[in-house]
Amino acid sequence: MSARKPFMGAIMLLIMLVPVKALATSWVYLFVVWNGYIYVVGDEQVTSLGEKIGAVTVYSDMEQYEGNFSNIYPEGTSYYAIKGVDTDHAIAVHTPNDTYVKALREGEYTYVEKETTLQKSIWYKTLGGIVAIDLGIIFLVRRFKKRAYKK
């Protein structure tokens, strides 16, 4: 029974070291990204629209993306300038219920790039190598102990 302990310990260590993907992202606020800046969506409705300036290119409430990204509105949702308001301050967003709401510019949008497949592959190969070496050491130590007891 005690010979299984190192093997089971190694298996448990391997299970604990495998990265687990987060299932959801917790956003601080609802937003749209336009022209490299994040705009926080509010409740204030806008009636005095200017020209169309863009649209949501990527929607996700789970992960971060590049481009005109939103965590609330679907792809294709239009952005408009507001008459008399600089787009450096606010823009209007066309909502699914056919109204327009003001979104205030919060600051620059920073996209954090995800791990590439190659980076993940290197991580898993390194982890597998460490586990294989550990199991090899455990096997050799047990074998030498058995030989020492036989003499």
Q: Tell me the per-residue pLDDT of 95-105, one tens digit each, with 9 for 90 and over.
A: 999 999 999 99
Could you tell me if residue 102 is inside a domain? yes
Helices (H), the chain: 4-17, 117-150
Could you tell me if residue 19 is inside a domain? no
Q: Does residue 97 share a domain with residue 79?
A: yes
Cβ atoms of 52 and 78 closer than 8 Å: yes
60 alpha carbon, distance to own chain's centre:
10
Residue 74 in this model has a pLDDT that exceeds 70: yes
Residue 1 in this model has a pLDDT that exceeds 50: no
Kindly state the tokens that stand for 83: 């008459």
Q: How many domains does the chain have?
A: 2
pLDDT band at 7 (very low <50, low <70, confident <90, very high): low
Could you tell me if residue 8 is inside a domain? no
More confident residue, 108 or 146: 108
Does this model's pTM top 0.85? My answer is: no
Among 35-44, 94-103, 135-144, which is the least confidently predicted range? 135-144
Q: DSSP labels for 87-105?
A: TTTEEEEE-TTS-EEEEEE
User: What pLDDT score was predicted for residue 90?
Assistant: 97
Q: Does residue 46 share a domain with residue 98?
A: yes
41-58 tens-digit pLDDT? 999 999 999 999 999 999
Structural domain boundaries enclosing 143: 115-150
Q: Does residue 102 share a domain with residue 37?
A: yes
